[in-house]
Structure 1
Amino acid sequence: MDTHHTKAKGDLGVLKAQVSLYEQGYLILQPATDHAPFDLVAYKDGRFKRVQVKYKSLDKTGALTVHFRSCWADKNGTHLRAIDKDEIDLYCIYCPDTDECYYFDPADYNKSVTLRVEAPKNNQTKNVKFTADYRRVP
């Protein structure tokens, strides 16, 4: 895989999410358009969940920070827009460094969330969200 190609990274993230969700007992549905605010729909026990998938590598501190916004560039520059949390039921973050998917409801957070693989160097644990607690769909 071309490690710098954004679309290839996104496609890999969606494929990893599909496998992870399937292993958790979900039926996977895909939108018929690339313009939906979600990447796939997971169905289980009579409930549908609209899932937005993100491919995100660990930063230098060993954390995954996800901002609830969309970013794109065009001839007028770079643009940022907050996501509409009413259009997404579940975020799935695929991290290539751990080869794991992490799940959470974006409505539970404000503008961003940070998950950590290991404890910070200062050993703080209060208000720290560890990736191990987010491996299953809530």
Structure 2
Amino acid sequence: MVTPHPKQRGQQSEAAVLFEFVGRGLSVLQPFGDNERYDLVVEISGTFYRVQVKTGRLENGRVQFETRSSGTLTNKISKRGYDGEIDVFAVYSPERRETFVVPIEDAPETSMGLRVSAAQKQSPNINWAADYSVERWLETVGE
């Protein structure tokens, strides 16, 4: 299988997340153009949530994703966080065909892993993917 271009991979993840949210009966808005820091807006019980969609990579029993954006300025790569600009990350794992929702306040500044299988070493700092399921998020926001 040919690896898609990063833009195409992002579009595939956005489509998967959109399908997941709409399939659950949520109202989903899409901003016009590519200039917003969020990809979607979801309305739940009258509250709007700005959603940044990320593609997760399955690595060592975790779905790993970047919690900042990368851009190119001349010959330099610029990385920038999302603090104050989004409310949640919606992380789509193509290998698992599953979406996870991570509130911005739970996300570290650079990247995050969501554990989907048992770790070799136990640690209190493990972020279990099940804790970030779409169902769990909807329960916390009152859907």
Give me the TM-score of the superposition, normalised by structure 1. 0.86
What's the counterpart of residue 100 of structure 1? 98
What's the counterpart of residue 73 of structure 1? 72
Deviations along 1:35-88, whole A, 9 cap, x unmatched?
Answer: 1000011112111111000112112x12123332211224322222222x2110
What's the counterpart of residue 126 of structure 1? 124
Secondary structure (helix, strand or coil) at the match of 2:52 reads: strand
Q: Which runs of 5+ in 1 are unaligned?
A: none
Aligned alpha-carbon RMSD (Å): 1.9
Q: Which runs of 5+ in 2 are unaligned?
A: none
- 8 Å contact kept, 1:119–1:125: no
Secondary structure (helix, strand or coil) at the match of 2:118 reads: coil
Count of equivalent residues: 135
C-alpha separation between the residues in 2 aligned to 1:120 and 1:49? 32
Give me the TM-score of the superposition, normalised by structure 2. 0.84
| Divergent runs of 4+, >3 A | none
Give percent identity, aligned residues only. Answer: 32
What's the counterpart of residue 34 of structure 1? 34
